Structure 1
Amino acid sequence: MTEITATPEPTATSPATKRQIVAWAAWDWGSAAFNAVMTTFIFTAFYLTTDIFGGADYTSQVLGLALGIAGLLIALLAPVAGQRTDHSGRRRLWLGVNTLLVVLLTASCFFVLPEPGYLILGCALLAAGHVFSELASVNYNAMLLQISTPKTIGKISGVGWASGYLGGIVLLVALYFGMLAPGVDFFGLDENTKYRVVALISAAWIAVFSIPVLFAVPENPRDPAEPKIGFFGSYLHLFRTIARLWRTQRHTLYFLISSAVFRDGLAAIFTFGAVIAVGTFGFAKGDVLIFAIAGNVVAAIGAFSAGYFDDKWGPKAVIVASLAGLLISGAVLFFGSGKTVFWVFGLLLCLFVGPAQSSARTFVGRLAPVGGEGELYGLYATTGRAASFIAPMLFAGFIAWFGSQRWGILGIMIVLLAGLALLLPVRSPART
């Protein structure tokens, strides 16, 4: 298939040192505290959406609304935020500022007391954390092009994704066995207070591992010929960029659309995986946490190893192979039953998720023009948010239609299949 060649390849001004790569990946390691601990497993699942705050149905509804508003804000702000840091030469600065806000919002969850009246506060803090975490990731992803070359971008991106998974594992294990497991006495604290302390530990984790990248990777240079643009003027510039891409690099827009769809399916695997494990395959809470740890290990292995294939054959080949593997594994889970089936093919799902996520990021990096990296990654974040309702709606809709949670698996598979179908005609980015 014809390759996209109109856009310059990503290039680093000089070969990145191992210190820079490790420092960059450490940010991903630290961010796992918010993604895995606060919003996926411990704080949200075991504390904020429990009967303490009004029952799972009501609390999930409130949390979903808060995160929906957050998603809308991300969709509106991400491309402009990336564009402005491209032009101002302050990518590292805004990575630090947005990360600091995530740290403060995460720590503030300590003040969410176990009373129904604090539900709104907890949901608002997590939603705001999502907004600033995504804005930080726009700058973080764009920084990938400062420390990689066309021959190493896949490997380095895989290292980052793997670090994120492994960071989540280490913190989950430490929190569970050192603090939350039944019978563990943690300074005499009751269970609810332990969950609030988890927020403080998570905030410290994010802060500590976010510091290295702010010192190791230099600030992106500002183009002195680039005129300063006001905030609202940035949106006019954004629309002009989209129009230009439509005229000259239409397949870049095609990829953004296709990736938005299949990334929604990838997110749904993690969002609803624990729910399916319990409701369809009979897992207990402890089993789910153990599977989560194992799943993150497997996903890290997949993301790390996929970097080699990404650099060798290109990101599109890796994404297509990963989506095919996900569809096959999902089909077995849809028709299968029992814990053993879920352990085997659920872990296979995790194995393929990591490569698809990592190579989607490198696909954008290989398309990004010099000086426009942040803006394109901002569009990447925006299109992802714009499609983020598809998988949850199909998951819930199939369950409602057929009266069984198992049919929700089919809803997720349809999203992955649609993303694959939209990706196949997209031209691969040029490689050197």
Structure 2
Amino acid sequence: MISKRKRIWGWYFFDWASQPYNTLLLTFVFGPYFAEVARGYYMGTGMEAETAAAAAQSFWGVGLTLSSLIIAVLAPILGAVADTTGRRLVWVWIFSALYVIGAWALWWVAPGGGVGMLYFAVGFFGLGFIGMEFATIFTNALMPSLSDHEDMGAISGSGFAFGYLGGLIALIIMLGFFVASPETGLTYLGLPPVLGEDSETQIGTRIVGPFTALWFAVFMIPFFLWVKEPKTTPQQMHLGRALAQLKELLASLRYRRSLSAYLLSSLFYRDALNALYAFGGVYASGVLGWSIGQIGIFGVVGAITAVAASWVGGRADRKWGPKPVIVVSILVLSAIVLVIVGLTRESVWGIPLDPASAASDNLFFLCGALIGAAGGTIQAASRTMMVRHTDPDHATEAFGLYALSGKVASFISPAMIALATTISGSQRIGMVPLIVLFLLGLILLLFVNSRGEQTR
């Protein structure tokens, strides 16, 4: 008999296992590395450095757009199928395999490979990204079965804190043992790189793909050992019945004002946050000229604040509910984007900075710390708010809809950034759409009931 405490810890391990896809691949190591590879390709075609950096950001944005579109279309359908069969863990297995394959394949993304290499990179990154997102839907759907309603905020916050801690440790391992500083040839712990220093093939950076895949495979073991399906009557998979059930859920949204407003709100603010994660490292590389190692240290700072803030936010959620936590987080994130849009090496919104000093770097590090803190709390509180609007018997379907609400904007926000960047030729101006998305999310939260659809 598996105890309640062990089931909860097993569920936490999914966050621990999966977080490096966001931390290492999306934001702090592979994303900026891809930007370097793509920028080198475009400069090789004769582009100026700034134009090449903008083109690299646009290519990355289009890749994320396509992946997010696939997730947006399939997430609610798969959720409905899982709920009609009563089986969720088998889907976690399937999408975990996509995660591992997609991450491992990034080992072959080497500099100088031409445009075909860029397509290979975004294709396999997208495959793993889709696997991570779909696996998350099904593990989130298990959340209502873990404990009583009043504990959901603390459980969600602790899960995110544990996940960010895993991402932090994985990032420290990468920076401390594999990634070499371009100045010294040593890792950021002052050690010789485990795989040797190779500035031409970037072996110490490319290993991030297989490392992320192995990390996930190893740390998913407690999840699969300790987390079991809630007891339900197994049924045969029937796509027609699942689609009819999904249609009924969508039709009911016209009568469920709070849920409808929340899904629309999260559509905007969650994926403005996802875009901020996805493009933060690319921005630092292109605008501030940071190396992979500097961006990684930036990630360490953000992860540390995310661990602490997610845990504290979970306790605040349990005391005051998720809505105030979400509101404060959106305000903080909106202010951060305003700073980023106006930041260059020479100034911030017209206020001169000494380009030879570390002023712009330090300001961006502060932004990273606040992004980590606000991002951790808003994601944990958002998951709790969704549980408050969820019938446990249809949790996967509801979280599929929740993923849809996020991925619609996730497909819009990278496209908006890619378009704004292409039109303006500036990575900084390309971030402006995120401010609009955060504020739209904040306005729609006014129509969300703090207790969701729970009566107690």
TM score, norm. by length of structure 2 = 0.82
Deviation at 1:22, TM superposition (A): 2.2
Separation of aligned partners in 2, 1:88 and 1:315: 31
Where does residue 8 of structure 1 map in the other structure? Answer: none
Structure-2 residue corresponding to 1:153? 152
The amino acid that maps onto 2:306 is A
Residue in 2 that maps onto 1:37: 24
Runs (5+) with no aligned partner, structure 1: 1-13
Corresponding position: 1:301 with 2:298:
no
Q: Which moved more, 1:402-411 or 1:309-318?
A: 402-411
CA RMSD between the two structures: 2.9
Distance 2:118 2:284 in 1: 26
SS in structure 2 opposite 1:236? helix
State how 1:10-409 maps to structure 2 within 5 Å.
17-47=4-34, 50-51=37-38, 54-55=41-42, 60-112=57-109, 114=111, 115-116=113-114, 117-182=116-181, 183=185, 184-188=192-196, 190=198, 191-223=201-233, 228=236, 230-247=238-255, 249-278=256-285, 283=290, 285-331=292-338, 334=342, 335=349, 338-395=360-417, 405-409=427-431
Identity, % of aligned pairs?
A: 32
Equivalent residues of 1:47, 1:195 under 8 A apart = no
| CA positional deviation for 1:139 | 0.5
Q: Given that residues 87 and 222 in structure 1 are in contact (C-alpha distance below 8 angstroms), is that contact kept between their aligned partners in structure 2?
A: no
CA apart distance, 1:318: 1.1
Higher deviation after alignment, 143-152 or 276-285: 276-285
Counterparts of 1:348 and 1:52, CA distance in 2: 28
> What is the CA-CA distance between 1:369 and the residue it aligns to?
0.5
Give the AA of the match of 2:398: L
Deviation digits for residues 251-290 of structure 1 (CA, Å, limit 9, x no counterpart):
2122111111111221132223234445556655543221
Distance 1:169 1:264 in 2: 22
Unaligned runs of 5+ in 2: 43-52, 186-191, 343-348, 354-359
Which segment drifts farther, 413-422 or 186-195?
186-195
Deviations 1:338-396 (A, max 9, x none): 33333334422332121111111111111110210000000011111111244445545
Matched AA of 1:123: V
Secondary structure, aligned partner of 2:393: coil
CA pair 343-51 structure 1, distance change in 2 beyond 3 A: closer
Query: 1:16-63, CA deviations, whole angstroms, 9 ceiling, x for partnerless residues?
Result: 633222221121111122222223232342157515983356665554
In structure 2, do the counterparts of structure 1 residues 274 and 104 end up closer, same or farther at CA, with 3 Å as the change threshold? closer
More off after superposition, 353-362 vs 107-116: 107-116
Shift of 1:229: 5.1
Q: Say if 1:16 and 1:148, in contact at 8 Å, map to a contact too.
A: no
The alignment covers a number of residue pairs equal to: 416
Deviates more, 1:420-429 or 1:87-96: 87-96
Residue 367 of structure 1 aligns to a residue whose secondary structure is coil
Residue 46 of structure 2 corresponds to none
Separation in 1, partners of 2:179, 2:288: 24
Residue by residue over 1:372-421, the C-alpha shift from the partner in whole angstroms, topping out at 9 and shown as x without a partner, is 00000000111111112444455456667777554455432221111100
* Cα separation, 2, equivalents of 1:287 and 1:189: 17
Q: Distance in 1 between matches of 2:89 and 2:211?
A: 24
2 CA distance for matches of 1:330 and 1:57? Answer: 18
Equivalent residue of 2:392, what SS? coil
1:91, 1:220 within 8 Å by CA — same for their partners in 2? no
1:11 match: none
SS at match of 1:50: helix
Between 1:58-67 and 1:162-171, the stretch displaced more is 58-67
CA distance in 2 between partners of 1:329 and 1:52 (Å): 26
Cα 1:264–1:16 shift into 2, 3 Å: farther
Q: Secondary structure at the match of 1:148?
A: coil
Q: Which amino acid aligns with 1:221?
A: K
- Cα distance in structure 2, aligned partners of 1:404 and 1:64: 14
Q: Distance in 1 between matches of 2:304 and 2:258?
A: 34
Letter of the 1:236 counterpart = A
Shift in Å, 1:243? 0.6
Q: CA deviation at 1:326?
A: 2.6
Counterpart residue identity of residue 268, structure 2: V
State the one-letter code of the partner of 2:133: E
1: distance between equivalents of 2:334 and 2:110? 42
Indicate the larger mover: 49-58 or 189-198: 49-58
Partner letter of residue 93 of structure 2? G
1:62 touches 1:120 (CA, 8 Å); kept in 2? no
Distance 1:187 1:405 in 2: 33
The alignment partner of 2:150 has SS state of coil
CA distance in structure 2 between the aligned counterparts of 1:354 and 1:295, rounded to whole angstroms: 10
Query: How big is the shift at 1:311?
Result: 1.2
Query: Contact between 1:15 and 1:147, CA under 8 Å: does it hold in 2?
Result: no
* Structure 1 contact 79–375 (Cα < 8 Å) conserved: yes
Encode CA deviations 1:211-248: one digit per residue, 9 max, x unaligned.
11111111122246xx645224422321121112323x
Residues 15 and 148 in structure 1, CA contact (< 8 A), matched pair in contact too: no
TM-score normalised by structure 1 residue count: 0.86
Cα offset for 1:307?
0.6
